[in-house]
Chain A
């Protein structure tokens, strides 16, 4: 016992303990410093215009659609999550799809001219998001991603959804992620349903108590026997 006390009080151990504390302290300070986001979005293609899901297009011998897409905004019921600030009902649609003929395939630019939905729609976004547009032009926004239209990455109706391409060797059509603003604290989903309680029969609990008593008695005998010896 004395040798233990001498060892615990030794200067060598104290210096060892100090080193441990310094190392652990450094680790604690270092580790929680950064949380970051890293993702690879965009394929260079427009990912959020699934017009043909509802309007199948057949290409004729001349390379043109045999039947043009219908022109109206009816039945286009889209729930806006972020762009709900644009208004309600048709007013929200007309904020971007402001074509006199109600052609949803035409979008309005800042100068009042129209652009095809498959064209450079970034300038449509520029009308409100001019800062992001300027940053995107000079390569700050969307840095490292293939240069493409804004809708190559963002869902134009809910821009916080971003399309992520499947990178090799993974197969598939990619996935969508939702960006949470840095100013917005992370809010986890609600927890799963409360699990069912564990069923422990009374006899097993009693057996455990009896077993613990016997084991502790034997352990006491072992420890006391050591001292008596």
Chain B
């Protein structure tokens, strides 16, 4: 049984993966128009990075009051979006959720690309990026950045290695299962340490809450599943993936479940902050800025969009409708970005001395850097959709169940090159 596609004209095999470069030659003008938009974004991002390297911090809106900026918002956001891919991938291999198997390659691709985008945010924020190596050579063990940065790097490597395994079939279901056993704890570790970057700041009262960690995990999973659902619909629309309504229904049920857990966690955190006998003045004062202060424009939509998304998905009679699923997913993806932005900037808006700083707005250079990184990520996925075999061959469906029931022997190493 061949687990890789048979080479044909225009297909180049590299590292045992078939790259269908011929598909790019036959791509339509609308595909290239979209790629042009992404290339423009990428170019602008490159120019902005050049500007940041030559001008230094003066090109950024990050000042004494805001030592972190849009890059950190995006770091938290992209790391979270990567979670959805892993949840789906892990549920196939660990829990036998076979309905998600057709999504597994896309899910892992998105996970790897999102983490890569998160790491690029850190690299481009460094005015001397070549000094990044010193973080590896002389790490400060008390800094959570050491753990989240290294976890993200490892996670990216594991995700792309997983993707390669899925394409080539090397190691079979057994190795995929083992890789999931590595990747899932690694993902939890990565999201936990990202939350620790905030929650372990004793001087920043808004962030100094243990609830930050579970909220990070649930927000990450919800937004990740939501963005995966949207991507799956787009690829199905263009005929790249063939997915069933049952799969989308399962995915939206999973999404609704994670959203309500996420909202519940947020509610518990808000209750602890405002409850008269548990409130701490610094924390309460800062959080009030979220609800009635200068950051209400960013945080109140989080509640409105989040609750709306859940209500849309909570009705069993309409949950199966694609437009409901896409709308709810889009609302939650936006809501989580707003949450990340307000969380990052509001944490700095009142400094430890109680001094108020004007709201943070990224500079043009920071904005273009973010657009450049987003364009690069979307470009990789757009080209991969044409070139890489993202569709899971139908003969792999039910592979896990068959393996579990003993109907199918695990595929031995090296048995995949027969095609």
Q: Which A residues are within 8 Å of any B CB, using their own CB?
A: 3-4, 7, 12-13, 16-17, 19-20, 23-24, 27-28, 31-38, 186, 188-192, 195-196, 198-201, 204-205, 207-208, 211, 214-215, 218-219, 221-222, 225-226
Contact = CB atoms under 8 A, between A and B. Distances in A.
Given A4-B323, A16-B311, A200 B364 contact: yes
A31 B270 contact: yes
Contacts of B318: 12-13
- Chain A contact residues, majority secondary structure: helix
Contacts of A219: 33, 37
A191 B356 contact: yes
B58 A218 contact: no
B291 A32 contact: yes
A191 B277 CA distance: 30
Interface residues of B, number: 60
A20 B314 CA distance: 12
B265 to A, nearest CB: 14
B36 A198 contact: no
B58 A199 contact: yes
B315 A27 contact: no
The 5 residue pairs across chains A and B that have the minimum distance between CB atoms: A195-B63, A36-B276, A36-B279, A198-B363, A199-B58
A186 B275 CA distance: 19
B278 interface: yes
Nearest to A18: B311
B55 interface: yes
A195 B323 CA distance: 46
Contact of A198 (B29, B30, B59, B321): B59
B354 interface: yes
Contact of B292 (A32, A37, A38, A215): A32
A188 B307 contact: no
B371 to A, nearest CB: 9
B334 interface: no
A134 B131 CA distance: 64
B312 A16 contact: yes
Given A31-B274, A188-B356, A195-B63, A207 B281 contact: no
26 contacts: A12-B317, A16-B311, A19-B311, A20-B311, A23-B307, A23-B311, A32-B291, A32-B292, A34-B274, A34-B275, A35-B284, A35-B285, A186-B285, A188-B350, A188-B356, A191-B357, A195-B64, A196-B58, A198-B58, A198-B365, A199-B58, A201-B55, A204-B365, A208-B364, A211-B41, A219-B37
